[in-house]
Chains A and B, each alone.
Chain A
Amino acid sequence: MTMNRIDQRFAALKDQSRRALIPYITAGDPAPQHTVGFMHACVEAGADVLELGVPFSDPMADGPVIQKACERALKHGTRLADVLDMVASFRETDQTTPVVLMGYVNPVERMGYETFVRRAREAGVDGVLMVDMPPEEGAEVAPLFAEHGLQSIFLLAPTTSSVRAATICAHGEGYLYYVSLKGVTGAASLDVEAVARQLAPLREMTDLPLCVGFGIRDGETAAAVGRVADGVIVGSALVSRIAENAERPEAIPAALKAVLGDMRDALDR
């Protein structure tokens, strides 16, 4: 099997000593016909990996910004099957940028794991991050994902014990998503020093790239985190731009590019 797009991308970044810029947007927000265009816009602004949120009725780990994005997307009927179609459509013109689906277990569970992994692979999905599926609960379905070349991305948090961190590092693929703070998405304060301290022991446990999300708002925070991590994940800062422009979606690609462009510049400086 050829190397997964995620691994390829991180290998290339490493060769260039560059940091990964990973935007998150919720699929179907503000309406489904815009999502593929937004994905391309993110790539044009320098995104390395795309995290595409699967809307869910009960996004327990998300703050108000992404909750509302889910509500807007669901109001227009965006479901997991539609999100897979969006990825397939994105792949018609972009065969290289890795795409990770991020969301909650229940939509996948309802579709059925077998159907999901097959359709995700066909659509061109590279990795899956189910927020409420820690490796212990995912053990049963992990082989199925592996068989279809879908990488399982896991979260690590400031509260993760070293014993758990070892387990997560052992099961993780693609990259590890380090949650920078105790809280939900969209929370404000990120402490770069604390993040640096917490990433250090993880480096001893794994060779996987360590990417940091939650609290990355602008070029400045991105650059600061980029000095200690292999990549930065930016969600609520983008989704707020989408929300502000929900009534004139034609303005959104430029708004996304402005935020991401600043971050790209700051990371590469």
Chain B
Amino acid sequence: MTKFSDLTRLPDAQGHFGPYGGRFVSETLSFALEELEKVYLSLRDDADFQAEFDRDLAHYVGRPSPLYHAERWSNKIGGAQIWLKREDLNHTGAHKVNNTIGQALLAKKSGKPRVIAETGAGQHGVATATVAARLGLKCEIYMGAEDVERQKLNVYRMRLLGAEVHPVESGSRTLKDAMNEALRDWVTNVDDTFYIIGTVAGPHPYPAMVRDFTSVIGREAREQSLAQIGRLPDALVACVGGGSNAIGLFYPFIEDEEVAMVGVEAGGDGVETGRHAAPLTSNAPSGVLHGNRTYLMSDASGQVSETHSISAGLDYPGVGPEHALWKDVGRVSYVAANDDAVLEAFRELTRIEGIMPALETAHALAHAKVMAAAMRPDQHIVVNLSGRGDKDIHTVAKLDGLEF
């Protein structure tokens, strides 16, 4: 039985989280990753770097983000108290910017004048374009052609910020294909380019590095819970695409055994239909994609499966390797929320609390609602409100039969 305290000592030196993670990349990238690892490890414990990071988070991002008691929604559900960690209030509107600020500082310290990123919903692309504008870095974003269509608003936002957005036409034309294309760019331009990966996936050291940068969410939430609830919450809930907002919230609580954790994947039309993006919930076999070993949706011959979700940001066939291990050791449970329930949660939070969540985030809300209903009013759930929903108004309007 793995002691939960052991989970804080991962990954190992080769970037493995138990059987998962690692550095499965073509040789051309090995050197870049070794360099990145060196720079990251030297700065991680560097007081000046941390101070600069914290300063940016405070004055540019607007941290700490509030922990908000959704009292009216909790009362309506009639069970546990639901608290929302308001990452939607960050500059650029999602949790992604925490990581992006950190990696952009690394890019600057490494003397790389150009940054690239993949994006699904466009939130990570927007966050990257934003920090690139601020630091005067050249910025190019890869985005699946289907997502360019679904997330027009964010595409234009990125262009206004000075980024070049490349629609990716290969494969399933979504997030995984954008990541393939970003990796191809990186091997070609490795000398002057820093690849800012947007989630806790990719080859070592990305999963650990992105986790460390986003963990500010959980550190704040832990303190805020003690101050506002008077104790640790009973449960944490977050949506899981690659898994960065979930890891950011969960990681600082990992040794608090009394705190249950639930990651909510994209159930699409329902996990039983096969049309989903829920590798953990569906018990997908382990596989290797984008530099790491993890639960990976692929067919019997190892071809990576196309995924289905109403939310572009969760439409990914793999998941961060640390989540894979957390599932195996039973530290976190993983479930899926279907598109229907997600839309209902989106509308409900908007109408009852005046907070319009991103469709990604609405997955966490849909499941939190189910959990809360089965709990007592003196129990507490913290949900990571990972992003705001402005970017999704288009998608929802379309379902309502409206076009702008």
Residues of A within 8 A of B (CB): 56-63, 67, 71, 74, 79-81, 104-111, 131-134, 136-137, 154-161, 164, 168, 179, 182-184, 187
Q: How far is the CB of B189 from chain A (nearest CB, A)?
A: 8
The reply to whether B27 and A106 contact each other, CB–CB distance below 8 Å, is: no
Residue pair A183, B287 in contact (C-beta under 8 Å): no
Q: State which of B170, B183, B304 has its C-beta within 8 Å of the C-beta of A67.
A: B170
Taking CB atoms, residues of chain A closer than 8 Å to B287 are 106, 109-110
List the B side residues contacting A154 at CB < 8 Å.
27
Q: Provided the pairs A57-B304, A60-B184, A134-B23 are in contact, do residues A106 and B32 lie with their beta carbons within 8 angstroms?
A: no
Residues of A within 8 A of B191 (CB): 182
Complex: chain B residue closest to A81, CB-CB: B301
> Is A161 touching B298 in the complex (CB atoms < 8 A)?
no
| Residues A182 and B296 in contact, CB atoms below 8 Å apart | no
CA distance A133 to B24 in the complex (A): 5
Q: How many angstroms from the CA of A63 to the CA of B184 in the assembled complex?
A: 8
Q: Does B303 contact A (CB under 8 A)?
A: yes
A-B contact pairs, 15 of them (CB 8 A): A58-B304, A61-B187, A80-B301, A106-B302, A109-B288, A132-B24, A133-B288, A137-B24, A158-B28, A159-B190, A160-B27, A164-B30, A179-B28, A183-B187, A187-B188
Contact flag A159-B288 (CB < 8 Å), given A56-B303, A58-B176, A107-B302: no
Q: What's the minimum C-beta distance from B96 to chain A, rounded to whole angstroms?
A: 23
Q: Is the CB of A131 within 8 A of B26?
A: yes
Q: Give, as a whole number of angstroms, the nearest-CB distance from A242 to chain B.
A: 18
Q: Does B290 contact A (CB under 8 A)?
A: yes
Q: How far is the CB of B8 from chain A (nearest CB, A)?
A: 24
Collect the chain A residues with CB atoms within 8 Å of residue B171's CB: 57-58
Q: Mark B272-297, 1 if CB is under 8 A from A, else 0.
A: 00000000000001111111010010
For the complex formed, measure the closest distance between the CB of A6 and the CB atoms of chain B, giving whole angstroms.
Answer: 19
Q: In the complex, which residues of chain A have a beta carbon less than 8 angstroms from the beta carbon of B31?
A: 157, 159-161, 164
In the complex, the chain A residue whose C-beta lies closest to that of B32 is A159
Task: Contact check, B188 vs A183: say whether CB atoms are below 8 A apart.
Answer: yes
Complex: A159 Cα to B191 Cα, angstroms = 9
Q: Flag if A109 contacts B286 (CB, 8 Å).
A: yes
Which residues between 1 and 49 of chain B lie within 8 Å of chain A, taking CB atoms?
14, 22-32, 34
Set of chain A residues within 8 Å of B298, measured between Cβ atoms:
57, 106, 110
Given contacts A67-B170, A136-B23, A182-B187, contact A108 B28 (CB under 8 A): no
Give chain B nearest CB distance to A140 CB in angstroms. 10
Q: B34 — which chain A residues lie within 8 A by C-beta? A: 161, 164
Asked if B289 and A157 make an inter-chain contact with CB atoms under 8 angstroms apart, the answer reads: no
* Contact of A156 (CB < 8 Å), options: B23, B27, B184, B303: B27
Contact of B28 among A67, A137, A182 (CB under 8 A): A182
Going nearest first, the 6 A-B pairs with the smallest beta carbon separation are A107-B302, A110-B302, A79-B301, A159-B31, A155-B27, A61-B26
Q: Are A74 and B28 closer than 8 Å at their CB atoms?
A: no
Chain B at the A interface: SS class: mixed
In the bound complex, CA of A105 to CA of B32 (Å): 21
CB-CB under 8 A from A58, the residues of chain B are 171, 176-177, 180, 289-290, 304
Most buried by B among A111, A154, A156, A159: A159
Q: Which of A108, A136, A158, A161 contacts B302 (CB 8 A)?
A: A108
What's the minimum C-beta distance from A59 to chain B, rounded to whole angstroms? 8
Residues from chain A with Cβ under 8 Å of B176 in the complex:
58
Nearest Cβ distance between residue B249 and chain A, in whole angstroms?
29
Q: A62-B184, A107-B303, A155-B27 are in contact. List 6 more A-B contacts (CB 8 A).
A: A56-B303, A60-B290, A61-B187, A159-B190, A168-B27, A182-B187
Q: Is B190 a contact of A182 with CB atoms below 8 Å?
A: yes
Answer whether residue B300 sits at the interface, using C-beta atoms and an 8 A cutoff. Answer: yes
A184 and B184 in contact (CB under 8 A), knowing A105-B288, A159-B28, A160-B27? yes
Chain A residues closer than 8 Å to B32, beta-carbon distance? 159
Query: B179-205 toward A: CB 8 Å interface, digit per residue (1/0)?
Result: 010011001111100000000000000
Q: How distant is the Cα of A211 from the Cα of B195 in the complex, in angstroms?
A: 30
Out of A60, A108, A111, A157, which one reaches B27, CB within 8 Å? A157
Q: Is B23 within 8 A of A155, CB to CB?
A: no
Contact between chains at A106 and B23 (CB < 8 Å): no
Please report the C-alpha to C-alpha distance between residue A74 and residue B184 in the assembled complex, in whole angstroms: 21
A80 to B291, CA, bound (A): 20
Residues of B within 8 Å of A71, CB to CB, are 170
Could you tell me if B25 and A184 are in contact, using CB atoms closer than 8 angstroms? no
CB distance from A207 to the nearest CB of B (A): 20
For B177, the chain A residues whose CB sits under 8 A away are 58
In contact, B23 and A110 (Cβ under 8 angstroms): no
Query: Of the candidates B14, B184, B288, which one forms a contact with A136 in the assembled complex, judged by CB atoms under 8 Å apart?
Result: B14
User: In the complex, what's the smallest C-beta–C-beta distance from A247 to chain B, in angstroms?
Assistant: 21
Known: A67-B170, A106-B288. A80 touches B302 (CB 8 A): yes
A110 and B300 contact, CB distance less than 8 A: yes
Q: Are B184 and A134 in touch, CB under 8 angstroms?
A: no
Whether the Cβ atoms of A155 and B26 lie closer than 8 Å is yes
Bound-state Cα–Cα, A56 to B28, Å? 19
B26, B180, B300, most chain A CB atoms within 10 A: B26
Mark interface residues in B304-330 (1 if CB within 8 Å of A CB, else 0). Answer: 100000000000000000000000000
Q: Tell me the bound Cα distance from A61 to B300 in angstroms.
A: 23
Nearest chain B CB to A203's CB is how many angstroms away? Answer: 18
A243–B286 alpha-carbon span in the complex (Å)? 33
**How far is A268 from B300 in the complex, measured between Cα atoms in Å?**
44
Contacts of A59 in B (CB 8 A): 180
Q: A106-B289, A161-B31, A182-B191 are in contact. Are A57 and B26 (CB under 8 A)?
A: no
